[in-house]
Structure 1
Amino acid sequence: MPNLDPSYLDAPAIPAPAGHVSDFEHPVTDTQQGGIHQLAYFAIILCGALAALSSLFRIASRIMKKPRHIGIEDFLLVAALGLYSGFLYLCYEIALFPGFLVHEWNIRLRDTVDFSWRLHLASNFYGLTLLCLKLAILIDWLHLFNPRMQRNTVFWTIHVLLIMNTIYYISAFFLDRFRCSPIEKTWNPLYVGGSCPIDANALNIVSSLLNLISDFIILLLPQWIIWRLNLTKAKKLGASLLFVIGIFATACGIARMVYSIETLYSKDYTYIYTTVGLWSLGELTSGFLVIGVPSIPKVYRSLYSQPDSILHTMATRLRGTRTADSGGVAGRAHHVESGSGSANLPSWFTPRPSSQSRDMWSITRDDGYGLLPDQHGRAAYVEAYPDPASSVELPEYAIIRETRVQISSQPRLYSDGSIKWQDPK
């Protein structure tokens, strides 16, 4: 920074418009005195907590899975959470000073250097976080909606999105990082000399537009797949609701693009860019929710199924003595379902399937009979899913669940009516 006159550095960053007076001690916003610090603190804490909880549910569901399976999408999620933490910290520093939604004529020119530096870093963290999030979401959906990696529309659509998002976000990172020569001119508004061949405002608008298109495609992709599955309308609706969180991410992307366009007509950058930052917080948080919320039912069932878990204990106490006093067939059925004492019952005693409501993550044997559509789009009633090595061709869109059963003993009925168990030959 050149040796500038202190009086020049202490002047307002931009001239105050007619009817306004610069106030450095208590910057004035459209809503209150002193800048909007409280709103920023609340948004940072809320978004950080939601992102952390969503990531925790996702990782927990993978660890609880038998066998445990940690894929590349989970490592990308952890990387996204780390980058998001850096973005939150920079937002917190901006919230401390000058604050969010503070007009630029209410801060001194010397203070714009620190603000621009933090804004530049936050923009880099934002792009890298979004890259890791979108890659994690797309890879996860590829495994969910196309587990056998068939070369169908879903396979190629997701792969095209993976390649395009990777190229776009990496290119945007380097363009923003090195758009000026020397690099210091990128973030230092007081730097004299150098050049910036790439206009920052135009880059932000193009970035927001391409990001919005990507969000919109990712929002529609699971809905398009789910509503083509051979499920009941109730289950289709329940499954689709797990993925509509992307609507909020798309809405945040639209708002972010609108405020980015305002930079073409206004020089009040502290007000506009902090507004963009708030919408960016919502957009990134929505990405964590998109990949984390569908894991909540899995974690709940895993915890509930463990006899020593808090959820199982609470549910048992709420049922009271009904479970203990329910004898006969119902009591024995529950005994078999729990997995204890099954060796003392004959093979023909099979508890009836539970009639309680289930979501798309609870597809059981009964659902498998009508899940796979035939080549004419009608329900193909099959007794079991085909073996991967069989010649049966799977439909293009299907949710598949493999169940393996190992028989260790079998009953034998004698003429006197007694039943004994023996090892199979």
Structure 2
Amino acid sequence: MSGIDLNAPALDPPPGYTQNLDNPPNHNDAVIAVYTVLILITTIFVSIRLYAKFFFLKDPRFEDYLLLPTFGVYLGHCGFWLEMCNTTGHFVHLWNFRVGGMAPFYRNGFYATILYEAVILAIKPMILLEWIRIFASAGPRTAFNWTCYILGTVNVLLYIGSILTDSVSCVPREYWWDRTIMGHCADTRNLPIVTGTLNAVIDLFILLLPQAIIWKLQMSSRRRLGVSLVFLVGIISVGSAITRTVLSFTYAESDDVTFNFSLAGTFSFIEMTAAIVVFAAPTVPKPTYHLVKQAGSSIDRLRGSKNRSGADSLASGTTNSKANAYYSVNERSPSVALMKLRGSRSRASVRPSTGGESEVELALPEEPR
């Protein structure tokens, strides 16, 4: 294939469109902005989750140890997808690509796709395990637990198959992104439709499974609503998965594969981000409230200490300043020293065997005092 003209257009433009091979319009800035914002949001949620389980509860589970490597793979996906901005660019129509520009674009896209599949393979079983642990304290949930196990298993098998298919569908593998070399690929255009449909169904189950249990919990309506809203973050993931599945039908029939690849990939990233947030969200409210309250109490103590120190200095020096500070911590803000994760529950009322109470209460908004 040495006779291929790498400067030739990859596709003739459709009627009414003007070809632009030298400076094709793209939406790289929008992609960079979306990725930057969502990476920041994900980092915040992951950090709070790790803080909550390793330092606040001091009770990390198997899925918590998986979170950090999963987040690393997520960042790896982001790196490859953003690197595509340095090729011909994102959201560029195929007729504005040169033949030689497709290989760098699709090479980064290939690795970004594999890493996306690896994240989804891990994060959804992690969410389902979290559901089982959280709602263990609500009583025996045999059907609920088995549904979670089955969905997790289907998800793992689905994405192992998808990763293997993408990895071996082209011989040599480089032919996946570089059609200027000798090789061949299996027809996998319908694979995104199959995986996308099953993926959306799994997302929908993950979204709906906790709701029936949440609204049966023995707590105020305000707290039930607060917990329910935390779990409904999954709506974003479901919406993105459904949109990506719909786009897969378009992708399978369209010749404008580069533009559609960017579009479907962006929704895949949103879905992946939402899934990580769904996993971390139940642990966010209580630790965040705890940190804010501690920060506020520290500021109050600092201000109170300065005010008392100044008054004591004017009256009789600084002899009693330490005693006043001690009195401030123990009398003015006893809740700082006595604050516990379980809110209004006493230790005697907690069943330590499941850990479910501690994890579900992380998602509970504070009751007004």
Same fold by TM-score greater than 0.5: yes
Give the match for residue 412 of structure 1.
none
1:63 corresponds in structure 2 to: 54
From 26, 36, 52, the counterpart of 2:23: 26
What amino acid is aligned across from residue 283 of structure 1 in structure 2? Answer: E
1:77-114 CA distances to partner (integer Å, 9 max, x unpaired)?
11211111111011111122222211011110111112
Residue 2 of structure 2 is aligned to residue 3 of structure 1:
yes
Could you tell me which amino acid in structure 1 is paired with residue 102 of structure 2? Answer: T
Q: 265, 281, 284: which is aligned to 2:269?
A: 281
Question: What's the C-alpha RMSD, in Å, of the aligned pairs?
Answer: 3.3
Gaps of 5+ in 1: 29-34, 322-330, 341-353, 355-360, 369-382, 389-393, 403-425
Matches within 5 A, 1:174-213: 174-196=164-186, 199-213=187-201
Relative to structure 1, the CA distance from residue 78 to residue 104 in structure 2 (aligned partners, 3 Å threshold; closer, same or farther) is same
Shift of 1:42: 0.3
SS at match of 1:155: helix
* Distance in 2 (alpha carbons) for counterparts of 1:104 and 1:186: 16
* Pair 1:261-2:249 in alignment: yes
Match of 1:127 among 98, 102, 117: 117
- Equivalence for 1:295: 283
Task: Establish whether residue 154 from structure 1 lines up as the match of residue 139 from structure 2.
Answer: no
TM-score normalised by the chain length of structure 2: 0.82
Structure 1 residue 332 displacement after superposition: 9.2
Does residue 310 of structure 1 match 2:276? no
Q: Does 1:231 align with 2:183?
A: no
Describe the SS at the equivalent of 2:82: helix
Distance in 1 of aligned mates of 2:261 and 2:277: 24
Which structure carries more helix by proportion? 2
Partner amino acid for 1:313? S
Separation of aligned partners in 2, 1:103 and 1:296: 41
Which AA in structure 2 matches 1:9? L
Tell me how far apart the structure 1 counterparts of residues 231 and 140 of structure 2 sit (CA, whole Å).
23
- Pick from 48, 54, 66: which aligns with 2:45? 54
SS at match of 2:24: coil
Q: Which amino acid aligns with 1:45?
A: T
Q: CA–CA distance in 1 between the matches of 2:183 and 2:252?
A: 23
Selected match of 2:161 from 145, 165, 171? 171
**Equivalent residue letter for 2:291:** L
- State the alpha-carbon separation in 1 of the partners of residues 265 and 12 from structure 2: 24
1:260 Cα deviation after fit:
1.4
**8 Å Cα contact 1:113/1:189 also seen in 2:** yes
Deviation for aligned residue 1:145: 1.0
Whichever of the two has the greater Rg, that structure is: 1
Identify the match of residue 105 of structure 2 among 108, 115, 126. 115
The higher relative CO (CA closer than 8 Å, separation ≥ 6) is in 2
The answer to whether the 8 A contact 2:171-2:183 is kept is no
What residue identity is the alignment partner of 1:124? I
> Following the alignment from structure 1 to structure 2, what is the Cα–Cα distance between the partners of residues 115 and 339?
56
Q: Distance in 2 between matches of 1:386 and 1:245?
A: 29
Kept in 2, the 8 Å contact 1:303–1:312? The answer is no
| Change in 2 beyond 3 A, CA 1:284/1:315 | farther
Provide, for residues 155-210 of structure 1, a one-character-per-residue CA deviation record: whole Å limited to 9, x for no partner.
Answer: 212111221111111111101111233333333223334341xx222011111111
Secondary structure at 2:51 match in 1: helix
Displacement of 1:333: 8.0
2: CA distance between counterparts of 1:10 and 1:176? Answer: 28
Q: Which residue does the alignment assign to 1:375? A: none
In the TM superposition, what whole-angstrom CA distance separates every residue of 1:37-74 from its partner, at most 9, and x where no partner exists? 210110121111111111101001112235x2222111
Q: Which residue of structure 2 aligns with residue 74 of structure 1?
A: 64
Q: How many residues align?
A: 340
Partner of 1:364: 344
Query: Do the aligned partners of 1:80 and 1:130 also contact (CA within 8 Å) in 2?
Result: no
For residue 337 of structure 1, report the CA deviation from its aligned partner. 4.7
Task: Find the counterpart in structure 1 of residue 317 from structure 2.
Answer: none
**1:282 maps to amino acid:** I
Segment of structure 1 superposing worse, 139-148 or 154-163:
139-148
SS across alignment from 1:100: coil
Number of the residue aligned with 1:17 = 14
Q: Distance in 2 between matches of 1:260 and 1:292?
A: 29
Q: Secondary structure at the match of 1:365?
A: coil
What displacement does 1:314 show?
A: 3.3
Distance of 1:267 and 1:318 partners within structure 2:
67
2: CA distance, partners of 1:135 / 1:319:
49
